[in-house]
Amino acid sequence: MYRPRLHTFECTFHKPDRAAVRTYTRLKTEEVLVASQEWESQPGDGPGYPALVWNDHGLSADRRPFLFYSVHDPEAGIALAIADTAQDPSVKFNRPDAGMSPDSRVLHAPVRPRQTSHFSSPSVVWDATTQQWRIYFHFYANAYAQGCGHQKTAVATAPELETTQWSIHSDGAAGYVAVLPIQPPWANSQSSYHAIARLGPNLWLALLRGTQITQDVDGTIAAHSTSLALATSRDGLSWSLVPEAPFAQALAGDGVLSPMHILCDTDGTVSIMYQRRLSTTSHVYLAPLEAPNHKERIFEDPVFYDGPISIVPQPQGLQIFTGHQVYLIQVP
């Protein structure tokens, strides 16, 4: 549940033309996700990676906000909390088979490989073509020796949101299908933390992050870098990288790149939002889909967490769900 903590911050907001700088005010900060179940309380970063969607499609649609989340710890899964409105406290879902130990996970990661198996960073999308909800999430499967990385992205489907009956896309032999591209060398370690959107019939878009590691001759990790790329799909299952992939890269010591959001305006314009996380702040960029390199830094803030964010317009400003918190910001 929410645990309110009110703050007011001033943070830099850059106009697209960079001709002037203005400020936005963070009106309110609330803890939206607090560890309260045994599986959430392992040593690590705690519950986070929020993906907020409205239950407005599929079976049992009721327009309530559903908040999917996870932790990034061994044997973690994808969990669910539900509220009556976006301003109300979210109540964690409890599995019908949870027994005496509350458990909000709707997807469980397997036990093996021990100490590494996990599901995390959900992205939830409605597919009007198949009339199914989809949860894209990353899972652990060590195939680094083959250039295929440790973290890959899978997808699970269900006809409704409030269920534990999610079907993970699998080939039946080797296990989960990694549906998002894995492209050595820039994603030889991870293909995860992606932002995914369905733009219309037969048109899906993914803002991808790949992580590359290099090793010394003794096998120890020497450095890692992150890259961003775009991929498109007709069905959300078979994806193709755009030719300019990757369009951005952060070398070791130059911060960490992370997808944040895909924005679709009413006039059909599509933009991508991503950040470069540094040690004490995040630089947040906005770029047109047609020219992702033509980015503009729109603001700086020290509080954005890894992974996609959810944005909800409110009369007072914008609600931004990131990490374990939700912010209400007022932009002039």
Contact yes or no for 323/305 (Cβ under 8 A): yes
**Mean pLDDT, residues 286-315:** 86
What length is written for the chain? Answer: 332
Residue 130: what pLDDT?
A: 96
**Mean pLDDT, residues 291-314:** 85
For strands 132-140 and 119-127, give the pairing: antiparallel
Least confident segment among 132-141, 150-159, 209-218, 232-241: 209-218
Grade residue 155 by pLDDT with cuts at 50, 70 and 90.
very high
CATH of the domain at 25: 2.115.10
User: Between 211 and 87, whose confidence is greater?
Assistant: 211
**Mean pLDDT, residues 274-289:** 89
**Residue 6 confidence (pLDDT) above 50:** no
User: Between 49 and 217, whose confidence is greater?
Assistant: 49
Q: Which residue has the tokens 């906000």?
A: 65
**Residue 267 confidence (pLDDT) above 80:** no
Residue 23: what pLDDT?
A: 59
The DSSP result for 243-284, as a single string, is TT---EEE-TTS-EEEEEEEEE-TTS-EEEEEEEE-SS-EEE
Residue 237: what pLDDT?
A: 95
**Mean pLDDT, residues 189-201:** 91
Alpha carbon distances (Å) from 115 to 111, 227, 283: 8, 26, 33
Which residues sit opposite 198 in a β-bridge? 204
Contact yes or no for 258/193 (Cβ under 8 A): yes
Residue 7: what pLDDT?
A: 31
Residue 217: what pLDDT?
A: 61
Least confident segment among 14-18, 121-125, 228-232, 312-316: 14-18
Q: What is the mean pLDDT of the chain?
A: 83
Structurally, the chain folds into a number of domains equal to: 1
| pLDDT > 70 fraction of the chain, expressed in percent and rounded | 84
For residue 267, count CB atoms less than 10 angstroms from its CB and return exposed for 0-12, middle for 13-18, buried for 19 or more: exposed
Q: Alpha-carbon distance 165 to 327, whole Å?
A: 32
pTM greater than 0.85: yes
User: Cα(first)–Cα(last) distance of the chain, in Å?
Assistant: 30
What pLDDT digit, counting tens, does each position of 31-79 carry?
889 888 888 876 667 899 999 999 999 999 999 999 999 998 877 899 9
Residue 174: what pLDDT?
A: 59
Grade residue 223 by pLDDT with cuts at 50, 70 and 90.
low
**Residue 294 confidence (pLDDT) above 70:** yes
Grade residue 117 by pLDDT with cuts at 50, 70 and 90.
confident
**Residue 102 confidence (pLDDT) above 60:** yes
Structural domain containing residue 169: 3-330
Residue 8: what pLDDT?
A: 34
Q: What angle do CA 319, 161, 118 make, to 5 degrees?
A: 85
User: Between 313 and 161, whose confidence is greater?
Assistant: 161
